[in-house]
């Protein structure tokens, strides 16, 4: 390899530059931990239509499945949980206000604001 010294030194400098934001916090000891988002559910509620882990990962797909089942197939009950498939009655029944649950988490995660509430009416009137 020609100019091995220069190339390796250059690579090292680039590496330091790229990782500077991380190194800064390591060196300064400033906390980089993000505060956990407390969404909260009402007391006494212990079960969701699926596990919390599944819902975090798949809620958007489940909602689309529910939508198609209700609107296009005329189905109404989710067999696994026995709950009625309803965004406003079932989901918001526990997760209170769309503003405080859906919007806050989407904002926290940096994903698009859900457009469900452009048509569906939040019964708590929070939108």
Contact set for other proteins, span 49-108 (CB under 8 A) = 54, 58, 61-62, 65-67, 69, 71-80, 84-85, 88-89
Q: What phi, psi does 84 have (nearest 5°)?
A: -75, 135
Does 43 interact with other proteins (rule: CB under 8 A)? no
C-alpha to C-alpha distance for 15 and 25, rounded to whole angstroms = 16
Among 4, 32, 34, 119, binds other proteins (CB under 8 A): 119
C-alpha to C-alpha distance for 76 and 62, rounded to whole angstroms = 14
105 vs 116 by CB, closer to other proteins: 116
37 vs 52 by CB, closer to other proteins: 52
C-alpha to C-alpha distance for 25 and 98, rounded to whole angstroms = 35
40 vs 123 by CB, closer to other proteins: 123
Which positions ≥6 away from 30 have C-beta within 8 Å? 24
5 vs 74 by CB, closer to other proteins: 74
Residues that bind other proteins (CB under 8 A): 54, 58, 61-62, 65-67, 69, 71-80, 84-85, 88-89, 118-123
């Amino acid at each position: 390899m020609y100019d091995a010294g220069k190339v390796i030194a250059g690579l090292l400098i680039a590496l330091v530059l790229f990782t500077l934001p991380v190194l800064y916090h390591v060196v300064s000891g400033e906390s980089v931990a993000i505060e956990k988002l407390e969404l909260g559910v009402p007391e006494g509620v212990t079960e969701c239509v699926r596990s919390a882990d599944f819902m975090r990962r798949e809620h958007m797909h489940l909602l689309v499945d529910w939508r198609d089942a209700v609107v296009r197939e005329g189905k109404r009950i989710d067999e696994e949980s026995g709950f009625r498939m309803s965004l406003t009655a079932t989901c918001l029944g526990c997760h209170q206000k769309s503003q405080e649950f859906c919007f806050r988490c989407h904002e926290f995660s940096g994903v698009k604001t859900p457009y469900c509430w452009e048509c569906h009416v939040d019964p708590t009137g929070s939108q």
